Amino acid sequence: MIREIKNGRLFFDGCDTVELAKKYGTPIYVMSQTDIESRFDELKRDFTDKYPNTRVAYASKAFCTVGMYKICEKNGISIDIVSLGELIAAEKAGFPAERIEFNGNNKLPAEIDKAVRYGVGRFIVDGLQELPLIEAAAEKYQKKVNVIIRITPGVAASTHDYIVTGKKDSKFGIPLDDDIFLPVVKQAIDSPWIEFLGLHMHIGSQLFENDAFIKALDVVMDHAAKIKEKFGVAIREVNFGGGFGVKYTDEVRKPYSFFLDPLMAELEKRSAEIGIERPAAVIEPGRSIVAEAGITLYTVGQIKDIPGLRKYVSIDGGMGDNIRVALYQAEYDAVIANKADAEATETVTVCGKCCESGDIILTDFKIPAGVEAGDILATFSTGAYGYSMASNYNNNPIPGVVLVKDGQSDWLVKPQTPEQIIQNNVVPDFI
Ligand code: LLP
């Protein structure tokens, strides 16, 4: 069990969270290596060992740190990156270039240049102007570059509007109109600098049903058939994207096999129909690898009780370390880590310290009565898109990240200091 209660305290991956708060300070993100690796084990058992010619590329946008890349590397996982910053972190981790897959809807020329020079394994082409940029860099470094083309399958997955990506009106992917899609594919096939491998889809995030995945895959395979018919080329790779849902409050995370077994069956069936070998299958999970592996620890400060209305409990972090509540109306579960077995009888609203009324982490949430300054609040499932979307609003430093594993703990990222926030500030002479 990653989460346990012992002597009234919350333990996480064998570590007493109240002691972690004392030792490392708050606010602090805590990531469990055991939980991350249990996801990798599940994927190995139910995907990469079960089906030949398959690969997992961790979507590092969910949680990108040098140490996380080391964990991926050690577990034989590839990574999906979307920026120079993520590439530099991967380089720092000594991550093997051929296991890096480069996504993103507006890869900058400097990013493409660096990625080609580094020798990344794949570019997932997402826009019409991208191929010529890749070709130019490939020629410059005299390296042939592997390319997958991301399509917009025109499928609406059911999730929050901000994280839907598969419908036609999307900034991501190549539209499937023949006069747009086919010329891009032809350009990739004809280029001496490009190895055209196949197609990519990503329909959205925090998904619990597989019908939209299957529908999108069908669209991908319809277009694989078109590519075979028009150009006589068999695609060799299909990327299903990520999006597998996790538990924040009442949700139940579905095993990867729930999504992947039907997808693999469909891929097999459709490949046979088209008369091509079953292409390599790749997934890009982000949230499902790290969300539940992370908690955030805060210290309770001011408490404001408005009689008959609401009790606000302030913590020393907030929207700077978790923007998901304000941005997606996300809901979380939490406990008072030093009163973890006390019955939750009092309803409070937990707010952050930013100058923003929307800086709320938990609304009308039940905690044990008698919350007081100095209590440690732990919010659960904060490992994905928490640290990676953190901000310096109000010049609050971004909290550090502690990695825990079987009772051991150490820094993964040290906390930012206020001085570091202003280190690039300059004062022009003409002020
Ligand atoms: N592949 C591609 C091309 C993506 O755009 C994404 C996520 C993933 C994979 C990973 O999806 P995941 O397995 O993590 O659901 N900030 C939002 C989520 C944005 C997702 C962006 N793309 C949130 O906090 O809910």
CATH of the domain at 26: 2.40.37.10
In this structure, are 165 and 142 located in the same domain?
Answer: yes
Q: How many angstroms separate the alpha carbon of residue 205 from the centre of ligand 1?
A: 5
Q: Is residue 396 part of a domain?
A: yes
Structure tokens at 233: 């080329």
d(CA 358, CA 64): 26
In this structure, are 115 and 17 located in the same domain?
Answer: no
Q: How many angstroms separate the alpha carbon of residue 287 from the centre of ligand 1?
A: 7
Q: Please tell me if the CB atom of residue 288 comes closer than 6 angstroms to any atom of ligand 1.
A: yes
Q: Please tell me if the CB atom of residue 239 comes closer than 6 angstroms to any atom of ligand 1.
A: no
Q: Is residue 43 part of a domain?
A: no
SS (H, E, C) 220-279: HHHHHHHHHHHHCCCCCEEECCCCECCCCCCCCCCCHHHHHHHHHHHHHHHHHHHCCCCC
In this structure, are 267 and 317 located in the same domain?
Answer: no
Q: End of a domain among 285, 316, 347?
A: 285
Report how many helices (DSSP H) and strands (DSSP E) the chain contains, helices first. 12, 20
d(CA 107, CA 114): 11
Q: Which atom of ligand 1 is nearest to the CA of 207?
A: 15
How many other β-carbons are positioned within 10 Å of the β-carbon of residue 420? 13
Q: Is residue 257 part of a domain?
A: yes
Q: Please tell me if the CB atom of residue 205 comes closer than 6 angstroms to any atom of ligand 1.
A: yes
How many folded domains does the chain comprise? 2
Structure tokens at 197: 């491998």
**Beta-carbon contacts of residue 191 (< 8 Å; ≥ 6 apart):** 131, 135
Q: Is residue 59 part of a domain?
A: no
What DSSP assignment string belongs to 314-351?
EES--TTT--HHHHH-----EEEGGGTTS-EEEEEEEE
Q: End of a domain among 239, 267, 285?
A: 285
Q: Please tell me if the CB atom of residue 245 comes closer than 6 angstroms to any atom of ligand 1.
A: no
Q: How many angstroms separate the alpha carbon of residue 203 from the centre of ligand 1?
A: 9
In this structure, are 210 and 133 located in the same domain?
Answer: yes
Q: What is the pLDDT along the chain (431 residues), one digit of tens a residue?
A: 899 999 999 999 999 999 999 999 999 999 999 999 999 999 999 999 999 999 999 999 999 999 999 999 999 999 999 999 999 999 999 999 999 999 999 999 999 999 999 999 999 999 999 999 999 999 999 999 999 999 999 887 766 666 666 667 888 999 999 999 999 999 999 999 999 999 999 999 999 999 999 999 999 999 999 999 999 999 999 999 999 999 999 999 999 999 999 999 999 999 999 999 999 999 999 999 999 999 999 999 999 999 999 999 999 999 999 999 999 999 999 999 999 999 999 999 999 999 999 999 999 999 999 999 999 999 999 999 999 999 999 999 999 999 999 999 999 999 999 999 999 999 999 99
Domain, as residue range, for 14? 3-30+291-416
Q: End of a domain among 285, 310, 333?
A: 285
Q: Is residue 421 part of a domain?
A: no
Residues carrying an active site annotation: 355
In this structure, are 248 and 397 located in the same domain?
Answer: no
Q: Is residue 25 part of a domain?
A: yes
In this structure, are 107 and 247 located in the same domain?
Answer: yes
CA–CA–CA angle 322, 323, 326 (5° rounding)? 125
Q: How many angstroms separate the alpha carbon of residue 50 from the centre of ligand 1?
A: 25
**CA-CA-CA-CA torsion sign (83, 85, 88, 92):** negative
In this structure, are 95 and 239 located in the same domain?
Answer: yes
Q: Is residue 427 part of a domain?
A: no
